[in-house]
Chain A
Amino acid sequence: MTARSIAMTIDQVAVRFGGLVAISDMSFTVGGGEIVSLIGPNGAGKTTAFNVMTGFLTPSAGRVTYQGTTLTGLKPHEIADLGLIRTFQRTSVFPNDTVYDNLLIGLHRQGRVRLLDAILGLPGARASERRLRLRASELLEWVGLERRAHDAAGSLSYGEQRLVGVALALAAEPSMLLLDEPVSGMNASETHRFVELIRSIRDRGITILLVEHDMPMVMTVSDRIVVLNYGRIIAEGTPDVIRNDPAVIEAYLGHGAGRA
């Protein structure tokens, strides 16, 4: 791998909820334009790590920097303004709105016009509105949901809702995208299409950090994998390295597996 600029640095981050240690000491970096996966058994601290990176949680120690800016103390919407956008495991859509309107809400960062202009319907506000509608249609096409545009997002299948979630995140014009278990609930062909989507996102220069349980998918798509267990990083490297790492195998299968 050639040397790249570093997009995100996670520096000795720890998260404790009272006596419970969710993350004990985590340090790694994500290079610009890279696809990095964060994996580990349930409860390893993956989603907690996401919450720290996007400002939903304040770390007990350590810090996260994104493109040179320290994220500690920033609110989630301020972090979003830096171009660091995430998706969610469960709450991925605005259920009562159509898919198309979901994207218009997601385009919030692109559509900021002065309130008075919008109320008076001034040309600037109208032009901005037209741009947003065009962009929403483009995004729908990108993730392949054109046919569902006018259906309520809450009525879509689970797999389609994940796609809406990703489209929403893309609408916010990320420079780095954090995907939290995006293919859970997808069947094999949906997952396959999703991998293509992730690659096409990366091809547009967007850095991707992925949390995922679907190992074949992670192994296919990642440039690099970071393995968490009990809040600590136990391995880091390319898919080939991770596949054969004894510590990883033990974390996933348990050391009792050999004896049983």
Chain B
Amino acid sequence: MKAIITILAVAALASVPLWLRDPYLLNALITTGIFVIGAMSLNLLLGFTGQLSLGHIAFFGIGAYVSALTSLGFDIGLPGDIRLVHAPWPPIAGFVLAILVAGLCGYFVGLLSFRVRGAYFVIVTISFAEVVRLVALNWVELTQGPLALTNIPSIALPLPGFGELMLRTKMQNYYLVLVVALTAYLLIARLVHSHFGRAMRGLMENETLAVSVGIDVTRTLTIAAVISAAIAGAAGSLYAHYIRIIDPEVFAFINTVTMVIMVISGGKGSLAGPVVGGLIFGLLPVALRPVMAPEAQWIAYGGVLMAILFVLPRGIVPSLALRFARRRSGKTALAPVALPETGVKEPA
């Protein structure tokens, strides 16, 4: 049942560019897709370990800047009369580096804050995002500051024997984002259902008990943070090469809030939640724009959010799954709903 829904959803998403020719709408879908990847990465932390990263956009933005700078090259002076010169590399190398550097940042943020956790992690991540934003704004020689990095090349896929395929059209970029999103989704799904996923769940539900059966809190949370940050970095790289211009505004707090809204409305702790929430709140502004004044759009946006959380307080996917399960079996099924994908296999 779940597999059928997943296959249908993927098929539907894959078919979109075949019938949707409007470049404006396709553009909205691509940027939404990029943010959905960011939301999925946030959900890995918020939904499966219970840690709220309120500076999650930092990893996204770092991915964007690393990828842009790798493919544009730079020439900067360091203290002690050293000049650091980097010749442009192919954007695909930027994509890989974005993942690695963002993951590394996730490691240090995790290491710093997970010894104490909870509110401390929230504060460390907010501060981290703000520090990174200030660096991007003020290290003009490297980042061009508010003048932005421009002319970022599109991603080119190396095709052995055929040279390169430059992804310029909206359709090509749509499929690129779709493929990366599916990969991230599968990666997170595998992770959550693995032995490691159970350790994360144990920590979230009852940390004391989890520790007592030998689960290493700091290690588990740090690994989750690394993977989450790396995925966000990948999304940032896609963003830089698609939009082809980035400025320090990419680090704005509102971008993190948008991702949090996507996760919470869709359902944290559910794999499909950030996708559903992300599509709704990514596309809602596009849908509202032609019919409302700008001020009214934001009111409507907030109204929709409150309505969803009022009617479906656990988030769309878990709440609907719960109703569906109740209708089917007539009894309350608590566990499969809190984490819909953890269906129990029959004992061997």
- Residues of A at under 8 Å CB distance from B? 54, 56, 75-77, 80-81, 85-88, 91-98, 100-101, 104-106, 108-109, 111-113, 115, 118-121, 125, 128-130, 132-134, 136-137, 140, 149-150, 152, 154-155, 165, 168-169, 171-172
Contacts and interface: CB of A to CB of B under 8 A. Distances in A.
12 contacts: A75-B216, A77-B216, A85-B212, A96-B338, A105-B213, A115-B191, A121-B190, A133-B348, A137-B347, A155-B334, A168-B209, A169-B212
User: Which 4 pairs show the lowest CB-CB distances between chains A and B?
Assistant: A137-B347, A80-B214, A118-B194, A105-B202
Contacts of B334: 96, 152, 154-155
Interface residues of B, number: 32
Given A93-B206, A94-B205, A96-B339, A140 B190 contact: no
A240 to B, nearest CB: 33
B199 interface: yes
Contacts of B119: none
Given A97-B201, A118-B191, A108 B213 contact: yes
Given A134-B348, A171-B213, A91 B206 contact: yes
Nearest to B193: A118
Contacts of B199: 105, 108
Describe B's contact surface by its main secondary structure: helix
Contacts, number: 125
A80 B339 CA distance: 27
A77 B55 CA distance: 29
A35 B338 CA distance: 39
B223 interface: yes
Contacts of A168: 209, 213
Contacts of B348: 130, 133-134, 137
A81 B187 contact: no
Given A101-B198, A108-B199, A140-B347, A77 B215 contact: yes
B211 interface: yes
Interface in B170-226: 187, 190-191, 194-196, 198-199, 201-202, 205-206, 208-217, 223
Q: Taking each of A98, A108, A130, A171, which has the highest tally of chain B beta carbons within 10 Å of its own beta carbon?
A: A108
Contacts of B216: 75, 77
Contacts of B208: 56, 88, 91
A145 to B, nearest CB: 12
B297 interface: no
A133 B345 contact: yes
A115 B196 CA distance: 7
Contact of B195 (A85, A93, A108, A155): A108
Interface of B: 187, 190-191, 194-196, 198-199, 201-202, 205-206, 208-217, 223, 334-335, 338-339, 342, 344-345, 347-348
Contacts of B191: 115, 118-119
A137 to B, nearest CB: 4
Contacts of A86: 212
B213 A98 contact: no
Nearest to A118: B194
A109 B324 CA distance: 36
A115 B339 contact: no
Nearest to B342: A101
Given A105-B198, A105-B201, A152 B212 contact: no
A54 B202 CA distance: 18
A210 to B, nearest CB: 16
B75 to A, nearest CB: 37
A81 B212 CA distance: 9
A174 to B, nearest CB: 10
Contacts of A109: 213-214
A97 B208 CA distance: 16
Contacts of A149: 344, 347
Given A101-B344, A105-B202, A118-B190, A94 B195 contact: no
Contacts of B210: 94, 105, 108
Given A80-B211, A108-B214, 19 more contacts: A75-B216, A76-B211, A80-B212, A85-B214, A105-B198, A106-B213, A108-B199, A108-B202, A109-B214, A115-B196, A118-B195, A129-B195, A133-B348, A134-B347, A149-B347, A150-B344, A168-B209, A171-B213, A172-B213
A136 B217 CA distance: 23
B195 A95 contact: no
Contacts of B195: 108, 111-113, 118, 125, 128-129, 132
